[in-house]
Structure 1
Amino acid sequence: MTGIFADEARTALQSHRQQQHAAQVRDRGLAERAQRVRDVTDPISLGVHPSAVRRTDRLESDRVPAFVERDQFDEVVRRIAQGGFVLIVGDSTAGKSRLAYEAMRVAVPDFVLLQARPSEDMQAFSSAVCALRRSVVWFDEFDQFLRAGGLTLQMVKDMLAGPEREVVLLASMRSKEYDRYSARQRDVTDAATWRAGREVLLHAAEPVELDRLWSPREIERAQGAGRDPRLRAAAQASDRFGVAEVLAAGPELLSDWMHAWQTGEHPRGAALVAAAVDCRRMGLHRPVPASLLVALHEVYLSARGGAVLRPEPLADALAWATAPVQGASSLLLPDQDSYLAFDYLIDFPGLPAIPERSWETLLPAVSAEDAFDIGWAAVDLMRPTIALKAFDIARGHEVPDADYAHAIALGNAGQPLPAVSRLRRLHQQRDTLLGPDHPDTLAARHDIARYLAEAGRLPEAVALLDRLAPDRERVLGARHAATLVTRTSKARFLRDGGDAPGALRQLREVLPDLTAALGPEHVDVLLTRQELARTLGRTGRTTDARVLMTEVLEDQQRILGAAHPHTLSTRFDLALLVGQSGEPEEAIRQLEALLGDQERILGLHSRTLSTRHQLGRLLAQTGDLDQAQEVLAAVLADQERFHGSSHPRTLATRYDHALVMRSTQGARTAAALLAALEEDCLRALGGSHPLTQTVVTARR
């Protein structure tokens, strides 16, 4: 017995010594990285994009032009001096990092600066920060710290806590990533987005938003900025681009990439860049190993013509893609034997859809934590099959929240009742662990209602929201976004259940509250106005609906951009209203124009398939039955491949195809099709689903 205890003691002591040594090594490494803010003279080391090289009078290279004070400068200085969590949000190359760098040098020059790295242990890093009394913690591209296994709310609280400590968490983040984490996208519910990441962001104050395009006062300051020709040239292009993006050579790099596809230029290099860009669009925001990038780039090279383009050798392609333009940034940023796409390229609105083969090649090559992030990117881009595969990988390795994410993806993939069953179990777990009033527990109840509605059990979904709304108002407040979303969801369920007048009243009541709480340009406000226009159409007020939908479309094009999925969705709704107004030919013309844009931007996508479905219906309405049958048969084949044979959208397309077949092939053929469809609807959706009831009535 003594020998056993002695062995255990020796093992424990050895483990303790190993942990102590690791902590000493870690702390020593962090100490070597720490500097006084005033001593950090190279902003590029913190993530500031370099500009074109300029030779000074002393023949030295100058890669950072003079700082032009932004309109938000004083506000950022004030917030940093005040301490706490300061977040700056804006497009790529808007100047976020440079603004943060210059502001902290003014506000807290004597503080210790510690730069966080996404690859390190955040728990150990936050513990080291807690040992510092006066410090600035620098987070560049903050979304990379919010992934599975990354920064948590408790770590943030610990870093900021403590008597006689002054700490600033200074973070920058691209607007697109902030929007995703802040649940501005309706397709991903407030409970389904990155829960831990959202908790961290909610702990920050309202972010400082930095516009890519500079104000007239900022441009005037740039034009008067001494003798630096780079600033004057960038200011002259400010009618089309932001001054900071011109300085970082963003537009020039984008142009180089677009032209490199030409035969005899750099098509292999362009394909490598396209693969790296799509890795980031697919949710992988860390450098991609060269071997994976090489495997992926063949998809893009083949799609453009392959050998016909006379692609250059791989070594030449990598050299071209990593060469800085005029000493500024490059298309691919090398990191040992891995590469990261320049973030300016990711936000370009004209990028084509991500090929299916890219998802299939990427998923098996990444970690479980990366698979979790890829799964949410797939949810955002409405790739339900990919999302399920990605979350399965994450679940197999017990990534936090992967089970919940898988349930959401299951519902989005056309299996709402299995999703409800899983969500009820997960809700019970949250109720037990977190309590019934925890926001996550309440959010699970909202998601259960959502998928009950998709399963056709609309009265049950409305009743659930009626109980949830007062609980959310009591816990979160009447003007909290989640409380308001509960009310808009109820209106949508009422309308889909046949009570369009009741839905109209509900939407008119909630819209002013939503606008007052979030502002008129918030995405949720735009989407609620879109729902109001849809509901007006359901009540027969088509003219009013078209006027409102047109106004929403104009605002979305201005605020979100013409290529945003929400903008494309509103164009779809407007075309349907045109058809309801007795103008099917004009509606067909609008849908055909929309389809071209959707196929270019989204590719094979749920919304692209819906547009093709409605085109088939309108063609039948105009009497072009043969063309309608051809269109519906083609979209049905793609629906079955994309969504699966049991998805409600696939079943709805089968129904409309059967109706056209009744006119072209006779009642006997249509009856057989409807009989088989009725059985499939009963099995997949249940007898109470509106589509099932419609099919039963049509068959009779």
Structure 2
Amino acid sequence: MYVSYLALTLQDQGKYDESETMHRRTLEERKKILGPDHPITLNSARNLATVLKAQGMFEESETMHRDTLNGYEKALGPDHPDTLSCTNDLALVLQGQGKYEESETMHRRTLEKQADILGPDHPIILMSTNNLGVVLKHQGKDDAPSYTGEAEGILGPDHPNTLMSTNNLALVLQLQEKYEESETMHLRTLNGCKKALGPDHPHTLMSANNLATVLRRQGKCEEAETMHRRTLEKREKILGPDHPITLNSAHNLALVLQDQGKYEESVMIHRHILEKREKLLGPDHPITLSSANNLA
């Protein structure tokens, strides 16, 4: 039990590598003692799948979430809170891979059942609504809802769920090409994350990356470059230079350098990313092919 709590604490602190090790240890122990289909074992599997997603290991996370969701549905039923939470988690993993239609279906299923059980103003409903809103906007559907204001009123402006809701709204505004509003929301999220989580927490770095991206969209390339370099440097120290999230930061830096005509450094970074992704993902993976396209 202590190992499980420690894994969750490390996860909350953004120490994902250590948390993953602890979660794997807990999962194996619970499989041996309780069996693979016990709800407590399934909780461990879900925790591990969540920390894998946080590290950008989407394929492994998706597989584990699907297996865990099947286990929950058999052990607890389709409407149990743990089953619905796992459905939401799977929807987020699918969204992270660009599988928007299936993600939307999962989000709608979760939201409908949660609203019946918890009521429309529950904080979990507000988060589920925001998650659905983001995936709808990725598909160009303008009926995407957002409940950032309600989340702030219920939870407070610096609550992690409020900050995630604010981040989601900023991303929706960015997809609508409302860059000034998006920048304001991203900056608000970043300041809140620094205050609540610290400057080096993964969520803070994600927020900094998102803000830098929208700055680039507005042509504020020097400011975006500075922010991308800072984020990349921190991710290299915390996650390592070959981590998928670190490589995403390097990709974003290469793009903003390219926009400024700094082609030599941009090409050098793109080549580095391609080499790493070929080793990590294989030459035919869609992300690897996208990296190769950047050098075409």
Asked if 1:435 corresponds to 2:60, the answer is no
Instruction: Check whether the contact 2:62–2:93 (CA below 8 A) recurs between aligned residues.
Output: yes
Give the secondary-structure state (helix, strand or coil) at the position aligned to 1:618.
Answer: helix
User: How far is the alpha carbon of 1:523 from its aligned partner?
Assistant: 1.2
Query: Could you report, residue by residue, the CA deviation over 1:614-645 in whole angstroms, capped at 9, with x for unpaired residues?
Result: 1112222223322211111223334456xx21
User: Which of 615, 622, 630 lines up with 2:260 in the alignment?
Assistant: 622
Contact residue 415 and residue 647 of structure 1 kept, 8 A:
no
Distance 1:539 1:378 in 2: 31
User: Residues of 2 paired with 1:566 and 1:416: CA distance?
Assistant: 17
Identity rate of aligned residues, in percent? Answer: 22
- Report the counterpart of residue 29 of structure 2 in structure 1: 397
Partner SS for 2:143: helix
3-state SS in 1 of match to 2:129: helix
Of residues 15, 26, 31, the one that matches 1:381 is 15
The CA distance in 2 between the partners of 1:430 and 1:445, in whole Å, is 10
Partner in structure 2 of residue 119 of structure 1:
none
Instruction: Please report the TM-score for the alignment, with normalisation by the length of structure 2.
Output: 0.79
1:322 is matched with which residue? none
How far apart, in 2, do the equivalents of 1:413 and 1:519 lie? 28
Structure with bigger helix share is 2
1:212-361 matches, cutoff 5 A: 283=6
Task: Please name the residue that 2:139 is paired with.
Answer: 497
Partner of 1:486: 128
Partner of 2:214: 577
Cα shift at 1:513: 2.1
* 1:538 to 1:474, Cα distance in 2 relative to 1, 3 A: same
* Gap change, CA 1:394 and 1:581, over 3 Å in 2: same
Q: Which residue of 1 aligns with 2:293?
A: 658
The alpha-carbon distance between structure 1 residues 425 and 639, as it changes in their structure 2 partners (threshold 3 A), is closer
Determine helix, strand or coil for the equivalent of 1:623.
Answer: coil
Distance 2:215 2:176 in 1: 15
Give 2:15's aligned amino acid. L
Find the aligned partners of 1:561 and 1:375 in 2 and give their Cα distance: 15
Change in Cα spacing, 1:382 to 1:561, as seen in structure 2 (3 Å) is closer
Letter of the 1:466 partner, please give it: R
Letter in 2 for 1:579: R
Give the C-alpha shift of residue 406 in structure 1: 4.7
1:448 corresponds in structure 2 to 90
Q: Aligned Cα RMSD in Å?
A: 3.4
Letter of the structure 2 residue corresponding to residue 477 of structure 1: G
Counterpart residue type for residue 457 of structure 1: K
Match of 1:11 in 2: none
1:638-677 equivalences under 5 Å are 638-639=276-277, 644-645=280-281, 651-652=286-287, 654-660=289-295, 662=296
How far is the alpha carbon of 1:581 from its aligned partner?
0.8
Whether the 8 Å contact between 1:629 and 1:657 is mirrored in structure 2 is no
Q: 1:450 to 1:554 in 2, by over 3 A?
A: closer
1:548 aligns with 2:185: yes
**Structure 2 equivalent of residue 147 of structure 1:** 2
Shift of 1:474: 2.0
Asked whether the equivalents of residues 255 and 266 of structure 2 are also in contact (C-alpha less than 8 Å), the reply is: yes
Output the amino acid matched with 2:105: A
Pairs aligned (count): 285
Q: Is the 8 A contact 2:282 2:288 kept in 1?
A: no
Q: Distance in 2 between matches of 1:607 and 1:421?
A: 19
Looking at structure 1, the residues matched to 13 and 197 of structure 2 have their Cα atoms a distance apart, in angstroms, of: 19
More strand by share: 1
- Where does residue 539 of structure 1 map in the other structure? 176
In structure 2, the CA distance between the partners of 1:653 and 1:618, relative to structure 1 (3 Å rule), is farther
User: Would you say the 8 A contact 1:579–1:587 is kept in 2?
Assistant: yes
Please give the per-residue CA displacement for 1:238-267, whole angstroms capped at 9, x wherever unaligned: xxxxxxxxxxxxxxxxxxxxxxxxxxxxxx
Q: Residue 226 of structure 2: SS of its match in structure 1?
A: helix
Aligned with residue 246 of structure 2, among 584, 598, 608: 608
CA drift of 1:647 comes to: 11
- Could you say if the C-alpha distance between residues 651 and 593 of structure 1 is closer, same or farther in structure 2, counting changes exceeding 3 Å? same
Q: What code does the residue aligned with 1:467 have?
A: R
- Structure 1 residues 631, 383: CA separation in 2 closer, same or farther (over 3 Å shift)? same
Paired AA for residue 217 in structure 2: Q
Match of 2:154 in 1: 517
User: Is the CA contact 1:417–1:452 (under 8 Å) kept in the aligned structure 2?
Assistant: no
> Distance in 1 between the 2:51 and 2:182 partners?
32
For 1:624 and 1:610, locate their aligned partners in 2 and report how far apart those are by CA, in whole Å.
Answer: 19
Q: Is the 8 A contact 1:569 1:607 kept in 2?
A: no
Q: Which moved more, 1:417-426 or 1:476-485?
A: 417-426
How far is the alpha carbon of 1:578 from its aligned partner?
A: 1.6
CA contact (8 A) 1:632 1:653 kept: no
**Does the 8 Å CA contact 2:240/2:246 hold for their aligned counterparts?**
yes
Per the TM alignment, residue 490 of structure 1 is displaced from its structure 2 partner at its CA by 0.7
The answer on whether the counterparts of 2:16 and 2:55 sit within 8 Å (CA) in structure 1 is: no
Pair 1:396–1:491, CA change in 2 (3 A): same
* 8 A contact 1:526–1:552 mirrored in 2: yes
1:440, distance to aligned residue in structure 2 (A) = 0.9
SS of equivalent to 1:397? helix
Which consecutive unaligned segments of at least 5 residues does structure 2 have? 32-40
Look up the SS of the partner of 1:562 in the other structure.
coil
Measured in 2, the distance between the counterparts of 1:565 and 1:546 equals 19
SS at match of 2:120: coil
Instruction: Give the counterpart letter for 1:659 in structure 2.
Output: N
- Please state how far the C-alpha of 1:525 moved relative to its aligned partner: 0.7
The 1:522–1:651 alpha-carbon spacing in structure 2 relative to 1, beyond 3 Å, is same
Contact 1:442-1:468 within 8 A present in 2 as well: yes
Contact 1:616/1:631, CA 8 A, preserved across alignment: yes
- Go from structure 1 to structure 2 and tell me whether the alpha carbon gap of 1:412 and 1:442 turns closer, same or farther (over 3 Å shift): same
Deviations 1:105-147 (A, max 9, x none): xxxxxxxxxxxxxxxxxxxxxxxxxxxxxxxxxxxxxxxxx53
How big is the shift at 1:411? Answer: 5.4
Instruction: For 2:140, give the aligned amino acid.
Output: G
